[in-house]
Structure 1
Amino acid sequence: MSEEAPKEYLSLRVDDGIAYVCIDVSGQRVNTLSTPMTERFEEVLDELRDTAGLEGVVIHSGKEGNFVVGFDINELQELSQRPEDVRPMIDRGHQMLGRFEELSVPVVAAVDGNCLGGGLELAMACHARIASNNDKTQMGLPEVKLGVIPGLGGTQRLPRLVGLQTGLNMILTGKQVGAKKAKKLGLVDDVVHPGILLQVAAEKARKMYAKGGWQKRPKASIGEVFSNPGEMVNLAAKTPARKLIFNQARETTRKQAGDKYPAPFAAIDVIETGYKDGFDAGLQAEGDAFAKLVKDDVAKNLINLFFMKQEVDKAKPFPWNTKAYPVDKIGVLGAGLMGAGIAQVAAYKGYEVRLKDVDDEGLSWGLNYTKELIDKLVKRKKISAPMGDIMFGRISGTTEYTGFGQADLIIEAVFEDLDLKKSVIKDLEEHTHDEAVIASNTSTIPIKEIASASKNPEMVLGMHFFSPVHKMPLLEIIRHEGTSSKAVATALEVGRDMGKTCIVVNDGSGFFTSRVIGAYINEAGWILQEGARIEDIDRAMKDWGFPVGPMKLVDEVGMDVALKAAKTLQEAFEERWDAPTALKAVAADGRKGKKNKKGFYKYKDGKGKEVDETVYDLLPGGRDRKPVDKEVIQERCWLAMLNECAYCLQEEIAEHPRDIDIGVIFGLGFPPFRGGILRHADSVGLPRVAERMHRLADQFGDRLKPADIIVEKAEKNENFYSE
């Protein structure tokens, strides 16, 4: 048996005084940095040092449309388990990039495609950067999204190139910029067509070599060097006032991300060190911070989440040889918020869309809404104005079924009423072809019941989008027992093409997401009914990591919508799901939440920052509320949520723990830093979880008794991810 051929990472060729270093990791779709890559770079640097007659070096990629997407996440995950190896690796990387800066000839990065993380740090260590005008060319440092900070000098080099304010913003948010924006910021020197990228990069190197002076790279205090000297914040950074700039960055980060994510705060500290004490001190601080963060639970959970999402995005929950029906045209029934939102996202991705509503008024509202969304994309320069016109031109409207005969996928987004949905299915099938997949956007009604009205039930499934459609990343695809694999494959392919993270679940009342969020809100309703203050409940869950509290969430969703879903779920699970009367009492007072500016919160300013105390007049105990321990609120709410997730796994609504954790994070706001609800339960320990749930059930009600699967795993000392 022959030995496996060694993996290639870099190649070097010299032509007419220019050394071309080509990054092309064999066996990978994209280039990533790694320890073997560093070793190969070191060898190439030795060769460059010993090569006579050089006028410059050009670093480029052998993969079209991809420069380097960052450090190898697999190795990063392994390093989180071997913290003693992290610091030596960081130091080695710093030294390697420092050698590029110190070469006796100029080094130019020729960037085509994604240049992210360590890829951008490599490019910034070069003496100049030329980028292609390819739409795929994006630059950024997204490390905070994995719970760490840039580790190869990015915290020090980026603020030097683009200025303090922009550098802080890019590092703290992971924001990416295109080539034209990068040039405007000073991150790249020129933007050219991909076809002449290497030629222009080589010419740049020759001109720099001939002119000289390119090697004078600052090593003193970063506060003395600015690419935009007129920028007030940069001028302030030269003075003691810079402390105010960094304190403001900390305050803004705390408001936006809370205090559960240590990486952004570490990045601010490291950048400030570089401003105060100089480049080398900044690198030292960067290495110390990275080594500490990578072994932290937050980083481990976010890295695990990255891999889980990759697995979900690649999963094919049907026979391997199943092929999707081709879809070019999509029909959408219902031009309300959901239907119009689906139409806009589909048009954005290039689909022709036929949007139907019952009358001209409803249709006009939907078309105007899609136009508003498209105009916002143009305003934010996500697309050009001509492209916006093309996109809107892909959407046509009707109050009849004309045009639906050509649709390959129809998404029904009418009101949440079974009889109405069945009637729509019957009418629709009179105007569509037999291979058209019909999807319902229902959030609670079993797909089997909707499909019973169809003459082709195998072509019917659920596509549960979340509102607002253009912002929410999750799509829940629901198959009933008769749905064909080909129909599921079609919905999955279209959903992914729309840019959604898709989970495929099996049929049942509330499927997965509505059941789980319903249990969470239900428990919060009980806590409210027992006398807790609205703000205490919401603050407790925000402190635990949710973006909004459960009471505010009900206001956002709409009390009428929440109660309609709750009724369906309570009827389906009446043997174990007892409901409080508190939410019904609030709804009976005509409070629908944000939509009619009357809910748990006051909406005079449109933001709902202040609790409406008159709500308490509708509840047991009136305005005489009592304090409730924050940890008790948190435990009751997240464990109620966990219990429903466990039931979904037990009943095979969801088939893999991974799908559940992706679902709660991407669809329900579960805090990402905890890694997912099942992974968090594993970290707490299922024996401890089961014991606590039994105690809570004895005190507050049988609905909190742990599902059998939790009890069984606890008794065996197993985890949800034991497999």
Structure 2
Amino acid sequence: SLIGLFLNDQDLKKKAKQYDEIAKDVKLAAVLGAGIMGGGIAYQSASKGTPILMKDIREEGIQMGLAEASKLLGGRVAKGRMTPAKMAEALTAIRPTMSYGDFGAVDIVVEAVVENPKVKQIVLAEVEGVVKEDAILASNTSTISINLLAKALKRPENFVGMHFFNPVHMMPLVEVIRGEKSSDVAVATTVAYAKKMGKTPVVVNDCPGFLVNRVLFPYFGGFSKLLGFGVDFVRIDKVMEKFGWPMGPAYLSDVVGVDTGHHGRDVMAEGFPDRMAVEGRTAVDVMYEANRLGQKNGKGFYAYETDKRGKPKKVIDPQAYELLKSIVTEQREVTDEDIINFMMIPLCMETVRCLEDGIVDTAAEADMGLIYGIGFPPFRGGALRYIDTVGVAEFVALADKYAELGALYTPTAKLREMAASGQKFFG
């Protein structure tokens, strides 16, 4: 699997290089919406040599964005990875602004405002009116359709999605989302800019959740089913961490933010109602209604205390168990293997669908997206490599064993054909 991973990475780099021939050079970038995300994007751009304007409508947003960039740059100096002179150079390459004054010279604008389609459409239409005709607009959205956002624009051919993962400085993946009207030049320029920022871009087609979130929500769907059967979330986290994930689903939910997960789930349910719509209340609803949003407000599935180094440390909170009692529909005994299958089958199945639907071009890109975007266990090679390792026919038989759990566990007709004819995703 790890050798396959290396080869997939080479494929990805080769593919990204092909875009270089038509990509336009990005000499000046801009980010709309400062804050933590905008500050992270500004830091990434400036520290890799591309000056960037950072615009917000509020002074405190600007201050938050600058503080985030300073903190990240200071961290590099403290570790000896950057000289103080280079830090000063990078900081001066981030130009905070509350107006569109200098936007006439910008080559690419990354919109990173609140995850609300109406707000994003207003902001994108506004910035389109002040940039030059061939400037690229990119939306850092995690779930909203690029085709939907493009409807607000006069030049939709210059518009793409550019989805960064949190925290920006740590996560290597950037999803570049091609809308129906996105031009090859817009896609190529965004890919080249992502590479210049030191990121690994994967080009995907537009659909709710794109590749990574579309695949992640069925995984959380499996988690939800386990909690409905009265399984302890701490046990689920331990089993999935032992399987190879950097953190279990409950902890991941707290880190991402329960409110973010709640919103994303609704978007996905609307996009794929046949398999992602949920009946009744789930654990995420219970946490959200109790205002337990995860690390951001100190309480989610776990409670959070600050350790000696000032980092949030998770502790067990009996109140979370009390709240979860209300969503248990039946007590069911499950083995550790069941826990893995409950979680992994829907994730793998949705990855298969993304490949079949043409959301992603190749199995290599699908797998690398999951490894770089959500920390899929690297030694397992990605979701499609994992199916190959289990055996396609064996995986289909395993999924059929869990068929009563619903449409997320149902193999596609094409996967059944592959199983019957002994085909694999790789080799």
TM-score normalized by the length of structure 2? 0.95
Shift of 1:317: 9.0
Q: Give the letter for the 2:411 counterpart.
A: P
Count of aligned residue pairs for this structure pair? 420
Per the alignment, residue 195 of structure 2 pairs with 496
Aligned partners of 1:621, 1:490: CA distance in 2, in Å?
50
Per-residue CA deviation, residues 292-324 of structure 1 (Å, 9 max, x unaligned), is xxxxxxxxx212211110110120597x79511
Structure 2 residue aligned with 1:304? 4
- AA partner of residue 311 (structure 1): D
Please point out which of 575, 591, 596 is paired with 2:297.
596
- C-alpha distance 482-317 of structure 1, shift in aligned 2 (>3 A): farther
1:72-87 pair list within 5 angstroms: none
- 2:350 alignment partner in structure 1: 644
Partner of 1:709: 414
Which residue of the partner structure matches residue 255 of structure 1?
A: none
Offset at residue 607 of structure 1 (A): 3.5
* Residue 686 in structure 1 maps to residue 392 in structure 2: yes
Tell me what 1:576 maps to.
275
- Among candidates 63, 73, 90, match of residue 374 of structure 1: 73
- Residue 565 of structure 1, CA deviation: 0.8
Match of 1:508 among 195, 207, 217: 207
> Amino acid of the residue matched to residue 612 of structure 1?
D
2:349 corresponds to which letter in structure 1? N
Per the TM alignment, residue 712 of structure 1 is displaced from its structure 2 partner at its CA by 2.1
Please name the residue that 1:557 is paired with: 256
Aligned partners of 2:193, 2:256: CA distance in 1, in Å? 26
**Higher relative contact order, structure no. (Cα contacts within 8 Å, ≥ 6 residues apart):** 2
The equivalent position to 1:628 in structure 2, one of 316, 323, 334, is 334
Structure 1 residue 534 displacement after superposition: 0.9
Query: What is aligned with 1:459?
Result: 158
DSSP-derived class of the 2:46 partner: helix
2 CA distance for matches of 1:669 and 1:321? 28
Aligned-partner Cα distance in 2 for 1:364–1:621:
42
Q: CA deviation at 1:510?
A: 0.6
Cα-Cα RMSD: 1.7
Letter in 2 for 1:720: F
Q: Secondary structure at the match of 2:423?
A: coil
- Match of 2:297, as an amino acid? N
Cα deviation, residue 596, structure 1: 0.1
Equivalent in the alignment of 2:107? 408
Task: Please say if 1:399 is aligned against 2:98.
Answer: yes
Q: 2:222 aligns with which of 511, 523, 526?
A: 523
Q: 1:420 Cα deviation (Å)?
A: 0.5
Listed as ranges, the matches of 1:122-141 within 5 Å are none
**Could you say if the C-alpha distance between residues 317 and 387 of structure 1 is closer, same or farther in structure 2, counting changes exceeding 3 Å?**
closer
For residue 576 of structure 1, give the secondary structure of its aligned residue in structure 2: helix
8 A contact 1:461–1:488 mirrored in 2 = yes
Residue of structure 1 equivalent to 2:401 = 695
Cα deviation for residue 540 of structure 1 reads 1.0
Q: 1:353 to 1:632 in 2, by over 3 A?
A: same
Residue in structure 2 matching 1:676, options 382, 401, 420: 382
SS of residue in 1 equivalent to 2:133: coil
Q: Tell me if the contact between 2:142 and 2:163 (Cα under 8 Å) persists in the aligned partners.
A: yes
Aligned partner of residue 162 in structure 2, secondary structure = strand
Cα distance in structure 2, aligned partners of 1:590 and 1:650: 39
Distance 1:495 1:559 in 2: 28
Counterpart-to-counterpart distance in 2, 1:405 and 1:372: 30
| Equivalent-residue separation in structure 1 for 2:40 and 2:414 (angstroms) | 38
The question of whether the paired residues in 2 share the 8 Å contact of 1:533 and 1:625 is answered with no
Match of 1:614 in 2: 319
Deviation at 1:715, TM superposition (A): 2.0
Q: Which runs of 4+ in 1 moved over 6 A?
A: 622-626
Alignment of 1:273-292 (within 5 A): none
Distance 1:383 1:316 in 2: 28
Paired residues for 1:23-42 under 5 Å: none
Alpha carbons 1:616, 1:622 under 8 Å: kept? no
Structure 1 residues 627 and 538: CA distance shift in structure 2, 3 A:
farther
Comparing 656-665 and 598-607, the one that deviates more: 598-607
Q: Is the 8 A contact 1:322 1:485 kept in 2?
A: no
* Aligned-partner residue type, residue 367 of structure 2: D
- Deviations along 1:89-144, one digit per CA (max 9) or x if unpaired, are xxxxxxxxxxxxxxxxxxxxxxxxxxxxxxxxxxxxxxxxxxxxxxxxxxxxxxxx
Question: Residue 249 of structure 2 aligns to which amino acid in structure 1?
Answer: P
The amino acid across from 2:317 in the alignment is D
Instruction: Work out whether 1:418 is the aligned partner of 2:117.
Output: yes
1:661 alignment partner AA: D
User: Shift in Å at residue 598 of structure 1?
Assistant: 0.7
Report the secondary structure of 1:365's partner residue. Answer: helix
Which stretch has the larger CA shift, 369-378 or 578-587? Answer: 578-587
Quote how far apart the aligned CAs of 1:421 are. 0.6
Q: Is 1:654–2:353 an aligned residue pair?
A: no
| 2:34 equivalent to 1:335 | yes
Deviations 1:344-382 (A, max 9, x none): 000011111100111111111111111111111111111
3-state SS of 2:276 partner: coil
User: How far did 1:621 drift?
Assistant: 5.7
Kept in 1: contact 2:282–2:327 (CA 8 A): no
Deviation at residue 401 of structure 1 after TM alignment: 1.2
Is the Cα contact below 8 Å between 1:601 and 1:612 reproduced in 2?
yes
Gaps of at least 5 residues in structure 2 are: none
User: Residue type of the partner of 2:214?
Assistant: R
Distance in 2 (CA, whole Å) between partners of 1:622 and 1:492 is 44
AA aligned opposite 2:135: A
Partner AA of 2:400 in structure 1? H
Q: What is the one-letter code of the residue matched to 1:644?
A: E
**Cα pair distance change 1:471/1:454, threshold 3 Å:** same
Amino acid at match of 1:714: A
What letter corresponds to residue 508 of structure 1 in structure 2? C
Question: Which SS does the other structure have where 2:303 is aligned?
Answer: coil
Q: Quote how far apart the aligned CAs of 1:675 are.
A: 1.5
Pairing partner for 1:362 from 57, 61, 77: 61
In structure 2, the residue matched to 1:532 is 231
- Per-residue deviation, 1:707: 2.4
Q: Distance in 2 between matches of 1:595 and 1:708?
A: 42
SS in 2 for 1:603: strand
Aligned mates of 2:290, 2:326 — CA distance in 1? 17
CA contact (8 A) 2:16 2:192 kept: no
> Does the 8 A contact of 2:303 with 2:317 survive in 1?
yes
Contact 1:555 1:593 in 2 (8 A): yes
Q: Give the Cα separation in 1 of the matches to 2:132 and 2:326.
A: 59
Letter in 1 for 2:316: V
TM-score, with length taken from structure 1? 0.57
Question: 1:259 maps to what in 2?
Answer: none
Letter in 1 for 2:412: A
Aligned 8 A contact 2:16 2:201 in 1: no
| Per-residue Cα deviation, 1:265-312 (whole angstroms, up to 9, x for no partner) | xxxxxxxxxxxxxxxxxxxxxxxxxxxxxxxxxxxx212211110110
Structure 1 unmatched runs, 5+: 1-300
Identity %: 36
Residue 619 of structure 1 aligns to a residue whose secondary structure is helix
